[in-house]
Amino acid sequence: MQHWLTPSNFNKLALVVLALAATSILAACSPEHPQSTFGYGGPVARDQGDLFILIFWIAVAVFIVVEGAIIYAAIRYRRRDDKIPKQVHGNTKLEITWTVLPSIVIAAIAVPTIIGIWEQQRGAPTDMGDVLEVEAIGHRWWFEFRYPNQEVVTANEMHIPVGRPVNVQLASQDVIHSFWVPKLAGKIDMVPLNDNLLWFIAEEPGVYDGQCAEFCGIAHAHMRFRVIAHTEEGFQQWVAGMRTPPVAFESGSPEQQGQTLFATHCKTCHTDDSWRQDAYSLEIQQQDSRWATWLDDIENSRIVSAPNMTHYGDRLFLGAGIKENSRENLIKWINDPNDIKIGTSMQAHAAVYQERDDNKINLSSQEVENIADYLLGLVPGDIEQLAAPQITGGTPEERGEQLFVSIGCNACHSLDADTTIVGPSLIGIADRAGTRTSLSAEDYMRQSINDPAAFIVDGFTNSMVVPKLPASQVDDLIAYISTLK
């Protein structure tokens, strides 16, 4: 029989075929896919990818040798006649060889592995720029992001600056989730009662897709999020924005009506004003108490942990990163969240859904649109104005009135005795101010502006944000407020 397939021929052929196959596989890495582990967005993902490529090529070599030997042996020693081959029972030298050789290969993989483990799992390096601390908390089925040093809290979209290590403290409130942004770093699980760390650096601004990677229940597939990397200035701006009140809505506008509806039906679970001073710790307390309330009576609870909605209008996606945050989608979502994302807690727990047999929202379509408009209108107001705007001319009362609007006092304090937005209505404050504490009316107002926490009116919480105002402007404001009879 003709032997075109000599061992050396065969090995060459196999090598060529397999090398071609392997190259085409790697070439098809599609780093542009949203969650490709080869679309390196920073050093951690790149190190992990490089290590994979190294092991991959070693594996290709082993693959060629082993599979080649299998095919070769099978073909070369196929049965041609009835002769019984030599009865070999083994060969100790060979055995030792193929025990030692793999050991060496394994050692070659083990060394970079151990180095990688210690580099990646010891927390963010301190020599690669200021470390940004973020706490990521997994909830069924959304992500909460807290910035303890910036006192910012948001959900499902994590904003970071490029070029700085981000140290993410991973936690979970309910079941195990996993934090995974393939282009930035491999995953680490978010385990209840266990503090885990993950760090990464994003090199380029952009939006990076992330997804929960640990099975966590019915909506596991829909538990996604984004990491939005800004330039340093962009990030600082975002932080400042998150601490700024939203653009004020005109009284009677759809947004303003939506705000009222939101306050009535949604606000028990969804905080929408964490831009306020001290709102950060308040929100953490509230999430804890929501969780405890839910756990206390899972079946009947009307309260459940829910994503923070502060400046929701700036979000790119809704439903934990599964749909574009458009008005149309938002209206659909508010009407029937389960239709977009099965398993959300809204219909299971919010009274406004429980009132109807079909579990859809018990509001008119106009009301739903108003809520949507309100939420989409939640974007940071002008940050510049907040830094003590320059107002000149006119009487102190006129300057105070301008100031009242421009720094956003009217966003929370209505000028209508029957309406309460967030803070107390200020109509008639001049008469009441002197009676609240032992201070005179003017001193009381001055104290309330400079240090809102000093006295809280019954039935309200302190969530007031005031920019640092020069004393003359405080006087102007007091002069104006004193006119509100």
Partner 1 sequence: MQTTHPGVGSEPISMRFPRIFPRPKSDYGIWSWISTVDHKRIGTLYAVTSFLWFLVGGIEALIMRLQLSQADNTLVDPELFNQLFTMHGTTMVFLVVMPLSAAFFNWLVPLQIGARDVAFPRLNALSYWIFLFGSLFLNFSWFVGDAPNGGWFGYAPNSHLAFNPTHGMTYWVIGLNILGIASIAAGLNFIVTILNMRAPGMTLTKMPVFTWMTFVTSVLIVLALPVLTVALIQLQVDRLYGTHFYNTAAGGDPVLWQHVFWLFGHPEVYILILPAMGIVSEILPVFSRKPLFGYTFLVFAGVAIGFMGWFVWSHHMFTVGLGPAANSAFAISTMAIAIPTGVKIFNWIGTMWGGSVRFSTAMLFAISFIAMFTIGGLSGVMHASVPTDAQQQDTYFVVAHFHYVLFGGAIMAIFGGIYFWWPKATGYMLSEGWGKANWLLMLIGFNLQFAPQHWLGLDGMPRRVFTYAENMGWENTNMYASAGGFLMAFGVLLFLINVFYSARKRVPAGDDPWDGRTLEWSIASPPPHYNFEKIPNVEHRDDWWFTKHPELIAEYYHDEHEGELRAPSGAQFDDDVEDEHHDEHTSDHHGDDDHGHGIHLPDMSYYPFILALGLTIVGAGLMTIIPVIIIGVVILLWGLIGWSMEPVNDPVPEGASHGH
**How far is Cα 239 from Cα 275, in angstroms, rounded to an integer?**
10
Q: How far is the CB of 69 from partner 1 (least distance, A)?
A: 5
Q: Nearest 5 degrees, angle CA 51-CA 55-CA 58?
A: 145
The 10 Å CB-count burial string (b at 16+, else e) for 181-219 is bbbbbbbbbbbeeeebebbbbbeebeebbbbbbbebeeb
Is the preceding omega at residue 291 within 30 degrees of 0, hence cis?
A: no
**Residues β-bridged to residue 225:** 210
Distance CA 432, CA 170 (A): 48
CB of 108 to partner 1, least distance (A): 10
Of the two residues 209 and 283, which places its CB atom closer to partner 1 in the complex? 209
Nearer to partner 1, 174 or 373 (CB): 174
Q: Please, which residue, 186 or 307, has the CB nearer to partner 1? A: 186
* Closest separation in Å from C-beta 224 to partner 1: 8
Nearer to partner 1, 21 or 417 (CB): 21
Cβ 228 vs Cβ 159: under 8 Å = yes
State the Cα–Cα distance between residues 242 and 252, nearest whole angstrom: 25
Q: Residue 343: CB partners within 8 Å, gap ≥ 6?
A: 140, 141, 217, 218, 219, 222
CB 318, min distance to partner 1, A: 13
Smallest gap, in angstroms, from Cβ of residue 297 to partner 1? Answer: 11
CB 393, min distance to partner 1, A: 55
Among candidates 215, 163, 167, which has minimal Cα distance to 189?
A: 215
Minimum CB separation of residue 198 from partner 1 in Å reads 9
| 196 DSSP assignment | E
Nearer to partner 1 by Cβ, of 95 and 130: the residue is 95
Which one, 32 or 384, has the nearer CB to partner 1?
A: 32
Task: Order the strands of the 132-139 sheet from edge to edge.
Answer: 152-155, 142-147, 132-139, 166-172, 196-200
Q: Smallest distance, Å, CB 338 to partner 1? A: 11
Nearer to partner 1, 298 or 383 (CB): 298
Closer CB to partner 1, 89 or 468, in the complex: 89
Nearer of residues 209 and 476 to partner 1, judged by Cβ: 209
Least separation, in Å, of the C-beta of 55 and partner 1?
Answer: 5
The neighbouring-strand residues paired with 152 are: 147
Q: What's the rounded Cα separation, in Å, for the pair 206 and 41?
A: 9
Residue 70 CB, nearest distance to partner 1 (Å)?
Answer: 5
Minimal distance, residue 123 CB to partner 1, in Å: 10
In the bound state with partner 1, the residue whose beta carbon lies nearer, of 61 and 331, is: 61
Looking at the Cβ atoms of 109 and 391, the one nearer to partner 1 is: 109
Three-state SS letters, 415-442: CCCCCCCCCCCCCCHHHHHHHHCCCCHH
Q: What are the structure tokens assigned to 278, written together?
A: 């001290």
The long-range contacts involving 117-126, CB below 8 angstroms and separated by at least 24 positions, are 119/47, 120/44, 120/47, 120/48, 120/185, 120/186, 120/199, 121/197, 123/167, 123/197, 123/199, 124/165, 124/166, 124/167, 124/197, 124/199, 125/165, 125/199
